[in-house]
Chain A
């Protein structure tokens, strides 16, 4: 019982080893390194996928382990992207503006530079003033801090309100969805200060960096891999100890946890906020690789997809979340990328770009119905672990409790 953390959880070690191997392989084969078997855009896709895996780990923590089906974590993801995007855009515009102002007869004053940056950035929304939210945009350190602080604070306030009033189950899910929608609608406005539906763009260019995209993409790829590794390790450590015991207890039967003397609301709030911070970090790594962040990214549907990934991978096990996110998002981009030939069925031609969503939706229904443990369940089969026979009863009275087919003996 007192073995070391890694010994008790060999899956963590296996995961980290595979991730390291994968990172190494991609690096060697990538364009930026010379061989060029993997194109820069595919390196970016892989890097982005790893960010999605990271937020899926966060989602698994909150849903798979704590039983809260949050439909709002992409809001935190998007906010993380916005926070880093503000610095990237400000700094890059500053370099451009300084370059062009230096051509003038007089050296530019500080006000002139700021005004010119403002015009550049906010011209599209018919403004040139810097809104208050951009107060720290000139400082990388502060914006990096905000990547964690803003999603964390939003999660803290929202979670405090929601958990305090003991909203649970589907109510909570819908409330989180409403929060996401409210945020997206707010950001869609031109006077939100974040360029309305234009969002922040040009984020793939690192200010002051001369290196080509093929190299920059590798940097981000490595950073994403590192973040995923650390995030996974953190999550695995959290769920392995007594804390994990408590939150799994909350998932299955929160009333019982309460009568043991644990303040369920505080635990929920802690997990909600922590996962929001992780989501923010994942977003901050994702959007510089995507190049653009806009309010459409925050739309409620994105968060639902996140839940879908975790469910398809198998919730309640961290590697399941990673597999689900990687599998679905890669297959998705494969299908919607238009590389798959159309399927001719007599008079009907199946164009996968159009039909993929239908396949995804239906396969999701099938997984929920017939394979609740998702892809991760295959590992159980392989290792010979069986589900308990409980005559269909769940493992606890809560809405988020494990189902018979999700549990193992």
Chain B
């Protein structure tokens, strides 16, 4: 609405200015009346150019009306008007020059000008130059967007013309950038193109690559009959990955340089066609159950002239070697393609570096997720020697707690702030209950603990399924976590991942603080190292174990909220992470938070690295990662950071 107002005021201002000139838009239109009536894409260019170049303030308006199919021609005098359809086949006409209504007319007395899509595209291009100098910066930005979406040679001149007068510095920069890109692609002067390419060499923008790539499009053709001026990239031998044997042979056939040869299937059909009374070429059909026998029969038929000639000597692989094939650029100028190749090489190298950096960020965020998922496990497994297969279900429980909170509290920010402590409380309680009821009775029996907690795990998973169903539940992140921190067109990282990274750091700090600075941490370490000694010094190992286990479970709950923000919350959420969590702890080394950190970093990096090498296949990536870990354990059976000592089992 506002935009319309601004446009109208601008139009009004321009109108007053136009009084000085005596030419009217109507006269320009009338001068090209026939071409406009005919509306052919081939000839219409002159009319559009004349209107655009008239310098009249109404020119833009006319073009827009025309393109919008709102231009009508009056039957009697052939004058053009803007028309607005009213009820009862009536059309209200407005004069282009004055903008005033000139009354209603019946449709039968009017001709609606309906430009076809080709013509509308031309009008659109002509309009761009107006939009490029539109007083509204938003319109100017839109015009640039339009140019980038569908660049064309004609846009180069109006774009260049609009640059000097551009008041907005940011838009001016953008215009200059787009101008460079258009120059590369469309400037008639090769030197100008090369200069533009060199100016922007090394630019990481996707638009830059999108401009360069079409310049380097090639096709493979027969060398014979190629004009001397062709911009040849290289010679291609048939059998090259770019040119299969069959394709090369097909090209020869198309050029009339080779005969199509019947393949095995076609020869078989011909054999059947010429069979009679159970015989073909005098050979009984039932003998033709090997390829060699069939070939022999076919050769006999061919010698009799009944079928096209074929012999193993005239195989396509032999014939194609008698001809040369080359790869040529569509772009005729060798200097331009060379500059473009060079620029693209440089860009690719820089893209590679940036991608490596991006991959590093990805790996870091994956590592934080694994760290979050594993830290609770590291506490229970590492510090207490208890293996908790239900750890994944505590993660799941945390995620569902977050989901439940969001059902009650609509505000996402607030609900997450409530969910985190609540998830901790819920899983802490569940952990303590589990420790009291089950784990306590199984200390020193790690394998039985593994199986018992597995029993709890499947029960909890099924319970969640019964309560929440099998479909995924949403746990929505607050709005301010949407989006990503974009460094350039290659490197970006979503805010959620940054948040998770920060959360992981907080947990690391918290863990270190609890273990090193608090009474609980001191007592925990004492109980870990020698429970009997600790007990005799007045520490209650039962209490310590309970709290430690609760703490580990509680952290799993918080991890669950964090993971639920970007993964689907289902009853299987936990089991998706449990194996990786175990791997993290095992690879890192038991009983050491730095080990867990190192393990998470290694597994995260490894997984991303393998995915990068083989991006299409994440399943294979996981397989290879596990195999790698199994081999890694060979060399460091106790993990990256190993504790030596008698406490470890001697």
A contacts, CB < 8 Å to B:
69, 105-111, 158, 161-162, 164-167, 169-171, 173-175, 177-179, 181-183, 185-186, 188-189, 191, 300-301, 304, 307-308, 311, 354-355, 357-358, 360-365, 368-369, 372, 394, 399-400, 403
Contact = CB atoms under 8 A, between A and B. Distances in A.
Interface of B: 268, 271-272, 275, 285-286, 288-291, 294, 381, 387, 438, 441-442, 444-448, 450-452, 454-463, 465-466, 579, 582-583, 586, 617, 619-620, 622-623, 626-627, 629-631, 633-635, 637
A369 B442 contact: yes
A307 B294 contact: no
Contacts of A173: 447, 450
Given A175-B586, A191-B617, 19 more contacts: A107-B285, A107-B288, A108-B289, A164-B634, A165-B634, A170-B381, A170-B446, A173-B447, A173-B450, A174-B582, A178-B630, A183-B623, A186-B620, A186-B623, A361-B460, A369-B438, A369-B452, A399-B446, A403-B448
B579 A181 contact: yes
B586 A174 contact: yes
A106 B637 contact: no
A182 B627 contact: yes
Contact of A167 (B271, B457, B617, B637): B637
A399 B455 CA distance: 19
Contacts of A185: 619-620, 622-623, 626
Given A107-B289, A170-B387, A354-B465, A361 B447 contact: no
A171 B462 CA distance: 27
A394 B445 contact: yes
B462 A358 contact: yes
Contact of A365 (B288, B438, B635): B438
B583 A304 contact: no
Contacts of A158: 630
B630 A106 contact: no
A361 B619 contact: no
Contact of B583 (A161, A178, A365): A178
A164 B634 CA distance: 8
B45 to A, nearest CB: 50
A106 B288 contact: yes
A399 B447 contact: yes
A362 B454 CA distance: 10
B289 A355 contact: no
26 contacts: A106-B268, A106-B294, A107-B289, A108-B289, A161-B634, A162-B630, A165-B634, A170-B381, A170-B387, A170-B450, A174-B387, A174-B586, A177-B579, A181-B622, A183-B623, A185-B619, A185-B626, A186-B623, A188-B619, A308-B451, A357-B462, A358-B462, A361-B460, A362-B456, A365-B452, A400-B447
Nearest to A350: B466
Which residue, of B289, B442, B454, B586, has the highest number of chain A Cβ atoms within 10 A? B454
8 closest A-B pairs by beta carbon, nearest first, are A361-B459, A364-B455, A182-B626, A357-B462, A107-B289, A361-B455, A105-B272, A361-B458
A178 B630 CA distance: 8
Contacts of B275: 105
A111 B268 CA distance: 13
Q: Is the interface of A mostly helix, strand, loop or mixed?
A: helix
A263 to B, nearest CB: 18
Which residue, of B275, B387, B445, B451, has the highest number of chain A Cβ atoms within 10 A? B451
Nearest to A361: B459
A221 B387 CA distance: 40
A110 B290 contact: yes
Q: Is the interface of B mostly helix, strand, loop or mixed?
A: helix
Contacts of A171: 586, 633, 637
Contacts of A360: 455, 458-459
Contacts of B454: 304, 308, 361, 364
Nearest to B462: A357
Given A178-B630, A186-B619, A304-B451, A109 B294 contact: yes
Contacts of B450: 69, 170, 173
Which residue, of A191, A300, A357, has the highest number of chain B Cβ atoms within 10 A? A357
Nearest to B457: A361
B626 A179 contact: yes
B298 to A, nearest CB: 11
A94 to B, nearest CB: 15
Contacts of A304: 451, 454
A368 B637 contact: no
A400 to B, nearest CB: 6
A176 to B, nearest CB: 10
Which residue, of B290, B438, B455, has the highest number of chain A Cβ atoms within 10 A? B455
A158 B271 CA distance: 55
A170 B445 CA distance: 10
B451 A311 contact: yes
B457 to A, nearest CB: 7
Nearest to A181: B579
A382 to B, nearest CB: 25
B447 A189 contact: no
Contact of A362 (B451, B455, B465, B622): B455
A191 B620 CA distance: 10
Contact of A361 (B441, B462, B631, B634): B462
Nearest to B444: A394
Contacts of B445: 394, 399, 403
Contacts of A394: 444-445
Given A161-B634, A311-B451, A355 B462 contact: yes
A360 B458 CA distance: 9
A164 B630 CA distance: 12
